[in-house]
Amino acid sequence: MRQFFSVFKFELRGQLQSKVFRVITILLLVVIVLTLNVGRLEALLGDSLDSLKKDDEATKIAVCNKSEMDTEALVETFKMFFGEGYEFSVTKDDNLEKQVEKGDVDTAIIIETPLKYKYIVETVGMFDADQQIIEQVLITNYRYSYLQNAGLTAEQITAALEAGTESDVVVTGKDQTQSFAYTYAIIMILYMVLLLYGQFVASSVAGEKSSRCMEVLITSAKPMNLMFGKVLGSGSAGLLQLVLILGTTVGCYQLNKNTLDNEMIVSLFGMPVSVAIYSIVFFILGYFIYAFMFGAAGSLASRAEDLGALVMPINVIFIFAFMVAIFTMTSGNVDGIFVTVCSFLPTFAPMLMLVRICMGTVAVWEIALSIAIQIATIILLGIGCAKVYRAGVLLYGNSPKFKDIWKILTTKQE
Amino acid sequence: MILEVKDITKNFGEKSVLKGISFSAQSGEALGLLGRNGAGKTTTIRIIMQLFPPNSGEVLVDGKPLSIREINVGYMPEERGLYPKKKIMEQLIYFAELKGVSKDVAIERANKLLDRLQMTEYKDAKLETLSKGNQQKIQLVTTLISNPDIVILDEPFSGLDPVNAMLLKDVVRELIADGKIVIFSSHQMNYIEEFCNNIVIINGGQIAVSGAIKDIKRSYTKNLVLIESDDNEAVKTALASIDFVKDATQIDSGIKVELLDGYDIKNLMSELSKLDVLVSGISLYEPSLSEIFVDYTEVES
């Protein structure tokens, strides 16, 4: 036990003293403080920001009407639907593509018939809603004149067109529209943290291997103590970093609650306490599962350069789990059979069970079973990793094959 | 305390690296493990250090199987290795703590050893800033900081300048005086000869010769005689006429004469006295350890 604590202390101190660790922590803290204080910053820089906004020119739209519709009325309707920030000009010139290309106007609409038009734009943005508005205007116009021709009065037409429904939504399970944002954030952070700290462990072990101090270490201490001390030491440094970051985030949020209206941030802080606790549990479990695998990979490397190839299989598994998690979230089908099965597989569980807890319907026994499977896996991986670490000390030169690793794992050692 | 290595064999795949190695060493004595590159010295040491098990045979301490978790063995591997980016003192304390030494004791011993090896000024430096020889001295401190009962040094003299080698020799002598078992491998015969009572020469995974240096030399001497004379040519002519002289070669110190089996220095003396040659000295030829080493490892490999 004393040996374990010596290793633990040494690794923790080493990690806290490392420049990379400090720089990453400080950088993250700065980003968080800046992001969450955006409201205050805007107030501080208010004037200069306003002047910036004035430079932001309105979108220029050229309208060329070839149909029998009344152009003036049409433009008025457009103005009404588009709202502020748009300038309309009427033109008879139908070579509008040139104008758009030259940048004289941003967008051009050529209306051929009441329901046929040409939309000319330089680039269509991901979230371009302009075309939808145009269609809405044209369809409304068409329906209006159609109903007018059928003999309805203006009031009747308005009543028909503006009819709406009233609804109440009762959610018995999870409201995915609410939980999506924070789940997304949690999974992203989980992904980054596990990859970062896993790699830390891998390169730390590979460093000991390439500097050859492993031979001294392994003859001085039990491999089990060395491996668990290392993984727990690095992990504690990571946890400390995470606590620092979360603390700063919560602190800044409390200070700026009223000025923040970003959907993601609001959703993130709206997460239930249970989700926050589960997140921490799955962070820790996920860290151990991957850190041991990365540690084993590190002890098989002869030099730091070999590490990339050795951690690749782990990275593939990890990224695959991440992709499945993201696809599950975006598809919304979080309780499907595939996802349910995967949420019990140790390498997928940290992410997928978390997704299911956040966005789906999971029974408590399912969570408990998944956690139990993960803990059992961690113990097995820890023992296996210590074995590989011990055998890896003298493995230099050729990269070991799967056959060799299997032999190491199945051979009895002290 | 007696360390016994008993009939150890080791194969790596198809290749048989050790084919039955046995020797023993006891407290207050230094044992030199000699052999050419690839002879199996490091493999033997690694088996003693339990880095891997032998295919057969055992390592005993006072009759019981050696466990490096129970008996404190200080080990300086052939491939030196410490943390390049850590401060000297920090890692010395760490390695001591791993062996169960408390921090205070570790600091005290580290200071003493660093002082002994004239390295005190570097104690807060990072290892990678030190020269190779100095790094090696730090490695020695790491080996000795837990005050081990058995000290195993794999090629301790490689890379040391004469002054540092002298320092290391003194430290090894102190270890012997302290009653430790010291085992070291080297191919620098002069160092071995200086303070090893016993040597083991390994060749091709087998023991070529082992025992006390004195005895080995004596048994090797058997039919070699050194003749000193002012007139070497006359001596050579005279020797040529003696039928049991197998070979006579001139070396720096005189003429080395090899006799046929069954003859010794007395036969040669009586034969020379009959001939008219002036000889200023005649003695048994004592070979250097290097000669013995080359002889054994060349012939049998």
Note whether B177 and B267 are same-domain residues. no
CA neighbor of A311 nearest in space, from A172, A200, A221: A200
Note whether B199 and B227 are same-domain residues. no
| Mean pLDDT (chain B, rounded) | 88
* Residues A106/A119, Cβ–Cβ less than 8 Å: no
Using a CB-CB distance cutoff of 8 angstroms, which residues of chain B are in contact with residue A219? 49-51, 68, 73, 75
The CATH class that applies to domain A59-156 reads alpha beta
Tokens of A294: 């990365």
The parent domain of residue B233 ranges over: 222-300
The pLDDT, as a whole number, for residue B181 is 94
The pLDDT, as a whole number, for residue B301 is 45
Q: How many CB pairs under 8 A join A and B?
A: 57
Note whether B282 and B206 are same-domain residues. no
* Residues A329/A355, Cβ–Cβ less than 8 Å: yes
Nearest to A214 among B68, B81, B95 (CB): B81
Note whether B199 and B255 are same-domain residues. no
What does the pLDDT look like over B173-225, one tens digit per residue? Answer: 999 999 999 998 887 788 888 878 889 999 888 998 888 888 888 777 667 88
The pLDDT, as a whole number, for residue B289 is 83
Q: At CA A353, angle to CA A262 and CA A287, rounded to 5? A: 85
What does the pLDDT look like over A233-267, one tens digit per residue? Answer: 989 998 888 888 888 888 888 887 777 777 667 77
Best residue in A1, A211, A222 for a mutation probing chain B (most B CBs within 10 Å): A211
The pLDDT, as a whole number, for residue A346 is 92
What does the pLDDT look like over A82-125, one tens digit per residue? Answer: 888 888 888 887 688 888 888 888 888 998 888 899 888 888 77
The pLDDT, as a whole number, for residue B193 is 82
Which of B182, B211, B240 lies at the terminal end of a domain, its last residue? B211
What share of chain A has pLDDT > 70, as a percent?
94
Note whether B177 and B36 are same-domain residues. yes
* Separation between Cα atoms, residue A354 and residue A284, nearest integer Å: 12
Which of B188, B211, B234 lies at the terminal end of a domain, its last residue? B211
Note whether B260 and B236 are same-domain residues. yes
Q: What is the CATH number of the domain that holds B139?
A: 3.40.50.300
Pairing of strands B15-26, A59-65: unpaired
Q: Across A4-13, A170-179, A258-267, B248-257, which has the greatest mean pLDDT? A: A4-13
**Region of poorest pLDDT, from A134-138, A371-375, A408-412:** A408-412
Using a CB-CB distance cutoff of 8 angstroms, which residues of chain A are in contact with residue B80? 212
**Nearest-CA distance from A223 to chain B in Å?**
11
Query: What's chain A's length in residues?
Result: 414
Would you say residue B216 lies in a domain? no
Three-class secondary structure assignment of A387-398:
HHHHHHCCCCCC
* Separation between Cα atoms, residue B204 and residue B40, nearest integer Å: 7
Residue B76: closest C-alpha in chain A:
A216
Would you say residue B258 lies in a domain? yes
Interface touch B95/A3, C-beta < 8 Å = no
* Separation between Cα atoms, residue A255 and residue A273, nearest integer Å: 20
At A200 the three-state DSSP class reads: helix
Q: With a cut of 0.85, is the ipTM above it?
A: no
* Separation between Cα atoms, residue B111 and residue B117, nearest integer Å: 10
Q: What is the CATH number of the domain that holds B234?
A: 3.30.70
Task: Assess A3–B contact: CB distance below 8 Å, yes or no.
Answer: yes
Note whether B40 and B175 are same-domain residues. yes
Note whether B71 and B118 are same-domain residues. yes
Q: At CA A355, angle to CA A350 and CA A357, rounded to 5? A: 95
Domain ranges, ordered by start, for chain A = 59-156, 175-410
Note whether B110 and B229 are same-domain residues. no
Interface touch A208/B83, C-beta < 8 Å = yes
Element (H, E) at B75: strand B73-76
For the entire predicted model, the pTM comes to 0.77
Note whether B65 and B205 are same-domain residues. yes
Q: Give A 336-395 residues with CB within 8 A of chain B.
A: 393-394
Task: Assess A60–B contact: CB distance below 8 Å, yes or no.
Answer: no
Task: Assess B152–A contact: CB distance below 8 Å, yes or no.
Answer: no
Tokens of B240: 């040529």
The pLDDT, as a whole number, for residue A377 is 95
What does the pLDDT look like over A111-167, one tens digit per residue? Answer: 888 889 988 888 877 777 888 888 888 998 888 888 988 888 888 888 888 888 888
Q: What is the mean pLDDT of residues A352-375?
A: 92
* Separation between Cα atoms, residue A110 and residue A184, nearest integer Å: 42
Low-confidence residues of chain B, pLDDT below 50? 300-301
Task: Assess B79–A contact: CB distance below 8 Å, yes or no.
Answer: yes
Task: Assess A215–B contact: CB distance below 8 Å, yes or no.
Answer: yes
Note whether B37 and B184 are same-domain residues. yes
Pairing of strands B206-212, B198-203: antiparallel
State the residue for tokens 């026994």.
A365
Task: Assess B274–A contact: CB distance below 8 Å, yes or no.
Answer: no
Task: Assess B69–A contact: CB distance below 8 Å, yes or no.
Answer: yes
Note whether B36 and B146 are same-domain residues. yes
What does the pLDDT look like over A27-57, one tens digit per residue? Answer: 989 988 888 887 777 777 766 655 555 556 7
**Nearest-CA distance from B191 to chain A in Å?**
24
Work out the pLDDT band at A397, boundaries 50, 70, 90.
low
Tokens of A135: 């269609």
Would you say residue B217 lies in a domain? no
* Separation between Cα atoms, residue A70 and residue A72, nearest integer Å: 6
